[in-house]
Amino acid sequence: MPNRYPVATVDELDENPRALVECDGREIAVFNHEGEYYALSNRCPHQGGPLCEGAITPEIGLDENDWMWTYEDTAVVRCPWHTWEFDLETGVNQSDDRYKVPTHDVEVKNDTVYVVL
């Protein structure tokens, strides 16, 4: 049976859209980004920076002519230490997919947000 770790209430994550929780000895960053919940390991695989403090931005790409920068639909969390970028949904690094942050399921039950391990 999966373990559910309470993070915060839905209202609390509306008010402050990020939280850091410890689940079974692991630090997990939980984000409410545009109404969707995401949970990733808090530890950047580069040098251990705290992802829960990172900015969430669109990924930047190029248009079809490889000319102008465009904003992609993918949201990334950028490590506050050296700006390594990880896909919020998959945890995969945007520049080298050999680097991946573990991601976890998030569930809402009775107005409480849980990380599921």
Name the strand (E) or helix (H) holding 66: none
Interface residue with other proteins among 14, 48, 62, 107 (CB under 8 A) is 48
Are 69 and 61 contacting, i.e. CB atoms less than 8 angstroms apart?
Answer: yes
Q: Minimum distance from CB of 31 to other proteins (Å)?
A: 9
CA dihedral sign of residues 84, 80, 15, 38? positive
Which of 105, 104, 54, 49 shows the shortest CA–CA distance to 76? 54
Q: How far apart are CA 117 and CA 105, in angstroms?
A: 7
Is residue 43 a contact residue for other proteins (CB under 8 A)? Answer: no
Contact code string over 74-113 relative to other proteins, x by CB under 8 A: ----xxxxxx------------------------------
Is residue 3 a contact residue for other proteins (CB under 8 A)? Answer: no
Q: Minimum distance from CB of 68 to other proteins (Å)?
A: 13
Task: List contacts with other proteins (CB under 8 A).
Answer: 17-18, 33, 47-48, 50, 52-58, 60, 71, 78-83
